[in-house]
Amino acid sequence: MSRFVLAAGGTGGHMVPAHALAEELMRRGHHVALVTDARGTRFPGLFENVETHVLPAGRLGGGPMGWLRAGRSILAGRRQARQLFREFQPAAVMGFGGYPALPALLAAFKAKIPTAVHEQNAVLGRVNRFVAGRVDAVATAYPDIQRLPSKAAMKVRLVGNPVRHEVLELRDKPYPPLDHDGVFRVLVTGGSQGATILSDVVPEGLGLLPPVFRARLQVTHQARAEDIERVRTRYAEQGIPAELATYLPDLPERLGRAHLVIGRSGASTVAELAAAGRPAILVPFAAATDDHQTYNAKELVEAGGARSIPQSQFTPVELAKQMQKLGLEPEALANAARRAKSCGRPDAVRDLADLIEEIGG
């Protein structure tokens, strides 16, 4: 039995994989403490049974004054983290990105505690890039990782992104039955926030498909609250049955029934498509840092499980064209589903837990 500290910034993208690892480590009989910021304590159902420490954390950048402020709060955070480590005596510290991970990792370096980071995206994030040269291991979600400092190249361990067990269970179920003339289910999702561009383009794009195919469509579309009524009207005008929601708590179940997904390529969405094996048309969020969503989509695209359309070229005509290129026939789609599934990494949590045990051992 060992003691481990997980340090993660307060957004879902960082907290969800950290939580999955915490559960696995506790299942293995270890003690776990979480270091995060105030936002990190506001995820219902996450880390409720885990000792949680909130540290001050400064954002990097923002001009000389910004750096000064960040420097001060990082130093204060590092002091608190060192105090925590003296009491908790962790065997290893793992960071998941986000600013609150930084003071904890800096404190671990100073105390000579073994460290690792996990990167959810295909481009190393700011904090992970900053510490990559000093940590003992860099766990990645994709085989090809951008902006990795060369001195960290030897430390990389490909593990994948943990996904919810409801999604993992889809891996053992077949691609949903699809007849040449049966219902065709499309799931449209813009990530945790929804995406207006999907609302503007998808109803029109689906409306451009051949009428016999259009008649088979059944759409679930997750949209931003301000877009919902407009999108509902657009589907109704196209004669396409569509269910609209701002957030789908039962997304895994809907993913299980979907024949095709149209969505953003946030780290978790991509991991879920690969875990479940669902073909997709992806529209990477153009303003994402270092264009990381384009890189996130790359593995699925290269495997033949998805097609990616740059946001600047995402028009109804292009969507209809890419859907036809992916193939709308049951055989082509089942084939794309298999290819997507080949990118899945269902053992991500196990491999992450093995890694932290190894560096802390």
Ligand X SMILES: CC(=O)N[C@H]1[C@@H](OP(=O)(O)OP(=O)(O)OC[C@H]2O[C@@H](n3ccc(=O)[nH]c3=O)[C@H](O)[C@@H]2O)O[C@H](CO)[C@@H](O)[C@@H]1O
Annotated binding residues for UDP-N-acetyl-alpha-D-glucosamine, written as ranges, equal 11-13, 121, 164, 192, 293
Q: Is 239 in the site for ligand X (CB under 6 A)?
A: no
Q: Is 346 in the site for ligand X (CB under 6 A)?
A: no
Q: Which of 36, 128, 140, 269 binds ligand X (CB under 6 A)?
A: 269
Q: Which is nearer to ligand X, 127 or 336 (CB)?
A: 127
d(Cα 233, Cα 358) in Å, to the nearest integer? 55
Residue 103 backbone zone (phi > 0: left; psi -120 to 50: alpha; other: beta): alpha
Q: Which of 83, 89, 193, 233 binds ligand X (CB under 6 A)?
A: 193
Q: Is 40 in the site for ligand X (CB under 6 A)?
A: no
Q: Is 192 in the site for ligand X (CB under 6 A)?
A: yes
**Burial class (CB within 10 angstroms; exposed 0-12, middle 13-18, buried 19+) of 146:** middle
Long-range contacts, stretch 90-93, CB < 8 angstroms, 24+ apart = 90/3, 90/4, 90/5, 90/33, 90/360, 91/2, 91/3, 91/4, 91/360, 91/361, 92/2, 92/4, 92/5, 92/116, 92/136, 92/356, 92/359, 92/360, 93/4, 93/5, 93/6, 93/7
Which one of 101-109, 179-187, 268-276, 329-337 is the stretch in contact with ligand X (CB under 6 A)?
268-276
Q: Is 120 in the site for ligand X (CB under 6 A)?
A: yes
Spatial CA neighbour of 190 closest among 334, 321, 322, 293: 293
Number of chain positions touching ligand X (CB under 6 A):
22
Which one of 72-80, 191-199, 299-307, 312-320 is the stretch in contact with ligand X (CB under 6 A)?
191-199
How many other C-beta atoms are found inside a 10 Å radius of the C-beta of residue 54?
Answer: 17
The least distance separating ligand X from the CB of residue 222, rounded to whole angstroms, comes to: 4
Q: Which of 20, 258, 267, 334 binds ligand X (CB under 6 A)?
A: 267
Which one of 37-45, 101-109, 199-207, 260-268 is the stretch in contact with ligand X (CB under 6 A)?
260-268
Query: Phi, psi at residue 132, to the nearest 5°?
Result: -55, -35
Q: Is 205 in the site for ligand X (CB under 6 A)?
A: no
Q: Is 10 in the site for ligand X (CB under 6 A)?
A: no
d(Cα 190, Cα 179) in Å, to the nearest integer? 28
Q: Could you give the 3-state DSSP secondary structure of residue 7?
A: strand
Q: Which is nearer to ligand X, 85 or 295 (CB)?
A: 295
Query: Got the DSSP string for 99-131?
Result: TTHHHHHHHHHHTT--EEEEE-SSB--HHHHHH
Q: Is 311 in the site for ligand X (CB under 6 A)?
A: no
Which one of 23-31, 142-150, 211-219, 291-299 is the stretch in contact with ligand X (CB under 6 A)?
291-299
How many other C-beta atoms are found inside a 10 Å radius of the C-beta of residue 239?
Answer: 11
Q: Which is nearer to ligand X, 231 or 328 (CB)?
A: 231
Binding site for ligand X (CB under 6 A): 12-13, 120-121, 189, 191-193, 222, 247-248, 251, 266-269, 272, 285, 288, 292-293, 296
